[in-house]
């Protein structure tokens, strides 16, 4: 049994790519995309025809962007049995109403293509404004994947909002702690279950399970197999192609590490109804989460701008 097969016995494996030619390589159920992945795919000569066809007849920049996102999403759904996560324009991450409008527009495009709502997750940054947009979308039957999630505060707010799924960023959390430690960082002492990113996800997962929160937890942004192995048993893990290949080539055992049946009673309070002020204070006290959230929005926004520039020349 490969490490990938072993992992799949306890966790739903999700592929983190927009490269259509790779999707059939692994037995993944779902796929996630983001502006960085779409930027690379849109610049790939293999998909020149798909890009040209998607944006044909769209005069407005945001219509061209949405058409491209859904075009890749539709191709992914033809190749995988589960869901695709399609991200709202990251530049709208601090605008609830604009996020709502674009999310509805994306879902309308999928609906026009005959795709059921339960096969699409609208991906939104876990800012306060994004979480409030997700709350409304979930009430409308549009399921959401809250991304760029780095903190317990964000996770609690998502739970209260009733979002379908969250994507805590394991690797980026650990990256921050490694950078802060500098030369004092001890990689061996922060491996596997001792990894800061792993610990953040386990804390959220345990809190959700102990309090009956239905929101799915999908670990994301992995750097190595040790991080993945330490989260075997998490609801879902979205993994990039390089690490999926490494898992498929390895015979390393991936026994379940997270088991809801073995959890004792909760030792913390249930998710509170956070106010915007509570959320802001929680983020203020968590410098890592605040810095990484804003950095992520900036980077995804820059990739979105790059995609728009590519489409303008298409």
pLDDT of residue 297: 98
- The DSSP code for 220 is B
Spatial neighbors of 40 by CB under 8 A, at least 6 apart, are 18, 19
> CA nearest 133: which of 147, 144, 120?
144
pLDDT of residue 4: 97
Read off the pLDDT band of 57 (50, 70, 90).
confident
User: Phi/psi of residue 142, each to 5°?
Assistant: -105, 115
% of the chain with per-residue pLDDT over 70 = 100
pLDDT of residue 112: 98
% of the chain with per-residue pLDDT over 90 = 92
Spatial neighbors of 34 by CB under 8 A, at least 6 apart, are 87, 123, 147, 300, 303
Read off the pLDDT band of 235 (50, 70, 90).
very high
Residue 314 has pLDDT above 80, yes or no: no
The tens digit of pLDDT for each residue in 36-55 reads 999 999 999 999 999 999 98
pLDDT of residue 77: 97
| Distance between CA atoms of residues 162 and 174, nearest Å | 27
Domains of the chain: which residue ranges?
A: 3-312
Residue 232 has pLDDT above 90, yes or no: yes
List the catalytic residue out of 123, 156, 164, 292. Answer: 123
Whether 123 sits among the annotated catalytic residues: the reply is: yes
The tens digit of pLDDT for each residue in 72-119 reads 999 999 999 999 999 999 999 999 999 999 999 999 999 999 999 999
> CA nearest 119: which of 87, 77, 147, 78?
77
Domain 3-312 -> CATH class:
alpha beta
Read off the pLDDT band of 266 (50, 70, 90).
confident
| Distance between CA atoms of residues 259 and 267, nearest Å | 17
Read off the pLDDT band of 24 (50, 70, 90).
confident
Read off the pLDDT band of 312 (50, 70, 90).
confident
pLDDT of residue 269: 82
Read off the pLDDT band of 58 (50, 70, 90).
confident
Tokens of 135: 């709350």
Q: In 3-state terms, what secondary structure has residue 147?
A: strand
């Amino acid at each position: 049994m490969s490490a990938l097969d072993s992992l799949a016995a306890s966790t739903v494996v999700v592929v983190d790519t927009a490269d259509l030619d790779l999707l059939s390589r692994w037995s993944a159920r779902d796929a996630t995309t983001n502006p960085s992945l779409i930027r690379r795919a849109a610049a790939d000569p293999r998909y020149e025809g798909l890009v040209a066809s998607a944006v044909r007849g769209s005069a407005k920049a945001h219509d061209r962007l949405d058409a491209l996102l859904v075009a890749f999403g539709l191709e992914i759904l033809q190749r995988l049995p589960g869901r695709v996560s399609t991200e709202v324009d990251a530049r709208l991450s601090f605008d609830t109403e604009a996020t709502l409008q674009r999310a509805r527009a994306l879902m309308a495009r999928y609906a026009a293509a005959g795709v059921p709502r339960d096969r699409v997750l609208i991906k939104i940054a876990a800012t306060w404004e994004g979480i409030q947009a997700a709350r409304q979308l979930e009430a409308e039957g549009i399921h959401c994947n809250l991304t760029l999630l780095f903190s317990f505060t964000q996770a609690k707010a998502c739970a209260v909002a009733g979002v379908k799924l969250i994507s805590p960023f394991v690797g980026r959390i650990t990256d921050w702690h490694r950078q802060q430690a500098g030369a004092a960082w001890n990689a061996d002492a922060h491996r596997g279950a001792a990894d800061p990113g792993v610990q953040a996800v386990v804390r959220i997962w345990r809190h959700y399970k102990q309090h009956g929160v239905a929101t799915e937890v999908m670990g994301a942004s992995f750097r190595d197999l040790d991080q993945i192995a330490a989260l075997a048993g998490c609801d879902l893990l979205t993994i990039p192609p390089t690490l999926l290949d490494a898992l498929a080539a390895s015979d390393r055992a991936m026994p379940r590490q997270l088991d809801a049946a073995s959890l004792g009673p909760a030792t913390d309070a249930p998710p509170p109804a956070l106010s915007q002020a509570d959320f802001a204070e929680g983020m203020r006290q968590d410098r890592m989460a605040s810095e990484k959230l804003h950095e992520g929005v900036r980077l995804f926004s820059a990739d979105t701008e790059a995609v728009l520039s590519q489409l303008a020349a298409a």
